[in-house]
């Protein structure tokens, strides 16, 4: 079968690999229908993803149709459409015992630490497969459930609720999902980025205002938006060395800053930036059983996956799809790969 593999930074290709077989009674075999390219996939390609391993069949945003089930699998049958949660955890460490499986001491993400879903077939634990009604959510959109789960995780960690003023720094795909979910919760969102097309998308996804930080002063914009108080919630979805300290600076006294970055580069943050305003500095990683919430939201129409998906490529043109996502971010929201084209 065909799969997309990165052998080392800068070396990506469509390769032939062995079709997987169910290894235990709780696994299922899925025929992949679609997958979407994530910024972390691009980081693996560039060599900037600090937690990736090589060589790796990538892909953690994917879904498909169940082909075969293990002998102990219940609730899922061949022919079911499923979206796959990529998080793998041990179930017994401190984080797992306290309901935080997404930061398990030995957490793994498929497509980053272990073979991923950008292949024609994949086996997964049945408990990580989430059934989707194809009459209510198009099979060609199931891969976008995972990026929305990131947005839900961020907003849940940030305790974002009705009436909150929220600054989302960075309007790539993750930022757009955060914005749309925050708006659905009743928050009022200010979006910032350096690309006008992404800011236009943020406004369409529910942001009340948008700021290009190359053209305007973000500090003044945040002060005006918050009537001089600072932003009660700041989400750093830009994930740069400079965005972390900026997020702390823009947060209001008593505010919350949600940090998503996985880069290894060091940001300079004095302790007083946190303590003088008694900020809650909150990390957010992967998702913690958010798929059902996202699926329900898609079914209710509170998310717009059709708009989030900006480009579609067949599997045979995977390298071309990566080139577009990597080199033309001004044109891209989510690039989706069709595996059954």
Listing DSSP states for 187-200 in one string gives: -EEEEEES-HHHHH
What local confidence, expressed as pLDDT, does residue 341 receive? 62
Return the ∠ at Cα 157 (arms to 155 and 160), rounded to 5°: 40
Closest CA to 124 of 26, 203, 224: 26
Domains of the chain plus CATH, in order, are 2-148+287-338 (3.90.180.10), 159-283 (3.40.50.720)
What local confidence, expressed as pLDDT, does residue 216 receive? 97
pTM of the predicted structure, to 2 decimals: 0.96
Residues whose CB is less than 8 angstroms from the CB of residue 217 and which lie 6 or more positions away in sequence, other chains included: none
pLDDT along the chain (341 residues), means of 10: 95 96 97 96 87 92 98 97 98 98 97 95 98 98 98 98 98 97 98 97 98 98 98 97 97 98 87 97 98 97 97 96 94 95 62
What local confidence, expressed as pLDDT, does residue 47 receive? 87
What local confidence, expressed as pLDDT, does residue 38 receive? 94
């Amino acid at each position: 079968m065909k799969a997309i593999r990165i052998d080392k930074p800068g070396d990506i290709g469509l390769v032939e690999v062995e079709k997987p077989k169910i290894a235990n009674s709780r696994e299922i075999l899925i025929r992949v229908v679609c997958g979407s390219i994530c910024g972390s996939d691009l980081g693996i390609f560039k060599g900037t993803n600090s937690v990736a391993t090589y060589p790796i069949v990538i892909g953690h945003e994917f879904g498909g149709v169940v082909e075969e089930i293990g002998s102990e699998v219940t609730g899922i049958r061949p022919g079911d459409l499923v979206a796959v949660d990529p998080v793998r955890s041990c179930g017994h460490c401190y984080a797992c015992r306290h309901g935080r499986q997404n930061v398990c001491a030995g957490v793994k993400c498929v497509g980053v630490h272990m073979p991923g879903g950008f292949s024609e077939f994949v086996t997964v634990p049945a408990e990580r497969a989430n059934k989707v009604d194809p009459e209510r959510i198009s099979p060609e959109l199931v891969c976008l459930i995972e990026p929305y789960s990131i947005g839900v995780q961020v907003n849940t960690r940030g305790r974002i609720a009705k009436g909150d003023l929220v600054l989302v720094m960075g309007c790539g795909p993750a930022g757009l999902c955060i914005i749309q979910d925050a708006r659905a919760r009743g928050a009022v969102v200010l979006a910032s980025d350096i690309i006008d097309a992404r800011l236009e998308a943020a406004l369409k996804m529910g942001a009340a205002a948008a700021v290009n930080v190359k053209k305007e002063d973000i500090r003044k914009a945040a002060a005006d938006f918050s009537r001089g108080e600072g932003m009660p919630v700041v989400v750093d979805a830009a994930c740069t060395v400079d965005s972390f300290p900026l997020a702390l600076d823009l947060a209001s006294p008593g505010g919350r800053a949600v940090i998503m970055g996985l880069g290894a580069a060091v940001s300079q943050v004095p302790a007083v930036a946190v303590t003088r305003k008694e900020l809650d500095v909150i990390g957010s990683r992967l998702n913690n059983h958010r798929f059902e919430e996202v699926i329900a939201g898609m079914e209710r129409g509170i998310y717009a996956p059709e708009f989030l998906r900006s480009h579609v490529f067949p599997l045979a043109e995977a390298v071309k799809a990566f080139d577009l996502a990597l080199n033309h971010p001004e044109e891209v929201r989510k690039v989706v790969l069709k595996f059954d084209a």
